[in-house]
Structure 1
């Protein structure tokens, strides 16, 4: 059994900016729902866990039930009772597609691990995250790109390298100011046609090549195709207009949160003209009524 000397464990977790690819994929002869997450450094979640001697585990804020469940699962995994106090804080906008609940869960698991100096394998953390919130994004895999079965908690494919380096011009896809977001839990599970499932297999192959060769253009093609398929489930307003803006500004593609209202224009981070391209794209988005913008880069 792991032991604690009375210290508080602290951890932070990243968020994401929706998906590069999401659909249904074959794994061990069975079709699984899977996704490839776009990491985002704009926001983070922080958690602290202090073991206690009473017979309960408390959390603040009290509504962070998924974070509490994650801490309970991590303690059980370490063979420890669910005693102590968990605190969670963040600056993540809710219901937008940034993966705030996954951040809560991962930071909480991390705080428990740190409190007892007992690191868990990433695969175990992924499994616990899915148990805690029913479906989880893949931001716990920080050094590689994975196709993740977000409802099963296992890796469908590890592509072996991070995503190619990107500059992302993110924006709220609802015209005007910040929207009300999306109630992810209220969304029905997507149902894909046989043709779409075949298309996902093709996109998986293209993504594999994009990651291996660091081809930003291929990555953009995958993201755009996935966003287009997602139009049937959670439509982005003025999607065709956004595609034309991407082309005019020289973006390599468009990506979207498949359960949120944020989207992004993808640019080659190392393109010498990337600053002027993103500035031009901002003006075009603003003219189209999409006035909420932000920027970030991925490390590659």
Structure 2
């Protein structure tokens, strides 16, 4: 027996914030992956970190199994601590692969219910794009046909501990929650149904609001440079360090290459990580 499971990471989130005292995010899955291989031709567990090992334990507990009798290898294209859903992709890929080895296909909701027992989780493994509560694992809305933007991903530097950040955001500041400011989220949610330009406006506005909570070096220069290069807007890791320039889905490969080259020259202080596309979330069985 040999098979692989692949789960996409993200370029931050399209929108993220707090509404009615509860956190939410809108997923931004991209064509960068965590891949988990299961085989009876290898022995032991390779590449699994603390969180993915915990995911394996939870699956064994769910299925009533005492041990995992096959070999498992995890490989990821996603840097950790940057806001690219690396831990969420690792956890989901391990959970899905472990259950499949025993002949059980877990649903995305079952995986999410396991994942939020480990940490706040990005639902990149749900089909399409979703708005969700990343702490409780509640799916709030689905966007099945999101534009497949070209995305140029840049790193502003450093790393962010997602669990610690969520904990600090709930701490009182001058008697109020640090996230207590209400935003007109319904307007942004409406934009997410209105095509590429409108989605990019929503993502940009959310990133602008978030920069007041978790400032990023060179954020405003990046927004301006992205627009000069032809981007429709930007997205951000609201709990991480990456920024993404959202280029039109219909743009040619050559045009995107030229635009990214110009953008890189205009923001030399930032580290270019990759050019990718927004894709529907999900779990790929290879």
* TM, length-normalised to structure 1: 0.79
Which structure 1 segments of 5+ residues have no match?
Answer: 1-6, 51-57, 174-178
* 1:68/1:86 contact within 8 Å kept: no
Residue 267 of structure 1: which of 238, 242, 247 is its match?
247
Shift of 1:65: 1.6
Aligned to 2:223: 243
Shift of 1:139: 0.9
Shift of 1:168: 0.8
Task: Say if 2:96 is the partner of 1:110.
Answer: yes
Aligned to 2:142: 158
Residue 127 to residue 97, structure 1, CA distance change in 2 (3 Å):
same
Aligned to 1:34: 24
Aligned to 2:11: 17
* TM, length-normalised to structure 2: 0.83
Aligned to 1:93: 79
* 1:245/1:285 contact within 8 Å kept: no
Q: Secondary structure at the match of 1:251?
A: coil
* Bigger relative contact order (CA 8 A; separation at least 6): 2
* Partner deviation per Cα, 1:43-67 (whole Å, 9 max, x = no partner): 32324377xxxxxxx74446x1211
Q: Could you tell me how far apart the structure 2 residues matched to 1:122 and 1:72 are?
A: 18
Task: Say if 2:186 is the partner of 1:192.
Answer: no
Aligned to 1:180: 158
Residue 59 of structure 2: which of 70, 74, 79 is its match?
74
Count of equivalent residues:
266
Which structure 2 segments of 5+ residues have no match?
Answer: 171-177, 281-286
Q: Could you tell me how far apart the structure 2 residues matched to 1:193 and 1:10 are?
A: 43
Q: Could you tell me how far apart the structure 2 residues matched to 1:240 and 1:278 are?
A: 22
Q: Superposition RMSD on alpha carbons, in Å? A: 2.5
